[in-house]
């Protein structure tokens, strides 16, 4: 019952976020931007505009698989973005360029997120097994260790929020300042980026909800030890 109290609201928000990002992207994928530029063209223009010449723009399979890879300095755009001239496509492309700009300017939260990646990868795979073993062994110490490890996962999600929100703000500013979108196109692009941001918020809240649930288990285990 306690699990549902913590997890159900976050789960519902996660489902809504997935629905929202898919429906919003599909809606504005049918609206062509007035300049007729593709996602790949927009990404290249914005990179050059910011003096970033070493970052490549490449297509990647799938839908909504767009990302910036700092390890090889590459903006990867999905099939529905790379060659599309929709408002949704250029918004997503500009968002990924926003991450490239963050990287070039050594934006603090992005730098912190990069440093957290190896810790988070280990913590996400190790925390639950340790928690499970702690439950079977009635060991509050192991449960606490699992919680500490999972806290790193929560921290990663929290640090991700300002990184993503900032990239979206940069995207809107870059698109308008470069004259790629007109003022009446701005609201549509903002809706696409806001829907995408909702997925990161849902992920952060889900992680927090799990952490709170694990804490209740620890407190219960501590009470049993007494």
Q: List active site positions.
A: 96
CA distances from 92 to 73, 116, 191, 192, 200 (A): 17, 24, 11, 8, 15
What's phi and psi for 122, nearest 5 deg? -70, -45
Tokens 């223009």 found at: 45
CB-CB contact of 175 with 181 (8 Å): yes
What is the sign of the dihedral through the CA atoms of 100, 83, 30 and 61? negative
- Vertex 47, ends 43 and 88: CA angle to 5°? 25
């Amino acid at each position: 019952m306690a699990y549902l109290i913590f997890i159900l609201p976050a789960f519902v928000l996660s489902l809504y976020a997935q629905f929202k990002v898919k429906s919003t992207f599909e809606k504005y994928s049918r609206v062509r931007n007035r300049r007729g530029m593709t996602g790949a063209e927009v990404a290249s223009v914005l990179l050059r505009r910011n003096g970033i010449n070493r970052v490549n723009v490449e297509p990647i399979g799938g839908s909504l698989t767009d990302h910036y890879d700092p390890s090889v300095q590459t903006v990867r755009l999905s099939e529905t973005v790379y060659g599309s001239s929709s408002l949704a496509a250029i918004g997503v492309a500009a968002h990924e360029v926003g991450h490239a700009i963050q990287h070039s300017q050594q934006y603090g939260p992005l730098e912190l997120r990069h440093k957290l990646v190896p810790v988070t990868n280990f913590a996400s795979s190790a925390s639950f097994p340790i928690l499970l073993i702690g439950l079977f062994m009635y060991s509050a110490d192991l449960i606490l260790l699992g919680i500490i490890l999972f806290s790193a996962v929560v921290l990663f999600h929290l640090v991700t929020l300002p990184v993503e929100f900032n990239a979206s703000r940069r995207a809107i500013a870059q698109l308008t300042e470069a004259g790629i979108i007109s003022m009446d196109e701005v609201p549509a692009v903002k809706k696409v980026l806001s829907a995408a941001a909702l997925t990161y918020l849902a992920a952060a809240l889900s992680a927090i909800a799990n952490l709170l649930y694990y804490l209740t288990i620890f407190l219960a285990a501590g009470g049993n030890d007494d």
